[in-house]
Chain A
Amino acid sequence: MEEKICESCGMPMRKKEEFGGGRFDNRYCVHCTDEEGNLKPFKVKLEEMKNFIASRMDLSEEKALQMAKENMSKMPAWKNYF
């Protein structure tokens, strides 16, 4: 099966459980959606992305926030927020 990329965070989605709501036709991954597979609000996602980056890289909150914003500004799901 062709690999898909989450349009919110860029994560590759291969297995069913990696797709939002466990549906192969979802454009967003399980981390970017709620239990029903709907895209989470921008503010929630920005906070999650910041925490994700900070925890993996041991970065300050400010730096992680800057990187999270930069990443999200390139994603189709959030292009209207920048």
Chain B
Amino acid sequence: MTRVLAIDTATPTAHVALLEATDAGIDTVAQTAADMKGSHAEHLFRLIDHVLAAAGWSKQQIDAFAVVRGPGSFTGVRIALGTAQGLALAADRPCVGVNTLEAMAEASGRCPGDRVPALGAGRGDLYIARYDASSSPPDQREAPGLQPAGSFWEAPPGFVLWGPGAEPPQDFQAAGGRRSATETAAAAGRIAILRGLDAAPEGPVSPLYIRPPDARLRSSR
């Protein structure tokens, strides 16, 4: 049996989940979410203590960590990864990074077409990726990228799963779509278990920002 703590603070709602993997399958034992704009750093451990109490687990029983490594809020990603790196180091347990968009696809389950998670990226852009319609963990068809919202909604490349900051225009019909399921921490934990916690690469989990920093050298503009 393997017990996993999964964390997602990449978007305005923080998600925390505990999962248990046995030969019989993967169970989400407890999960919670809290909408707390800009203050994930303050409340994250309260959420973690809450799910542990709900599950009746001690913190020492956690075998591995899963963390949503972006894209999303830069600050949120730093909170998640700073916390996850600290936890993995302190517990001497593996930590697996999962991208926000695949967690959205996993959480949303089977869809009528290729799953296309879309997440607000600010400045009129969206973070998007494309996964097959039903695999778990999701089979990536198009790597996460950045696209202007306007052109995306005109011709989305599949069944859209929109997340925070990515409301479709009123006349949106195209290939169809719906709001993404929100249980992203549980989904990240499931993806991490399915891919194999032992297969986690050595060293710290790298964040996935997609949008480059604004700072550019004059000569490279």
**Real binding pair:** no
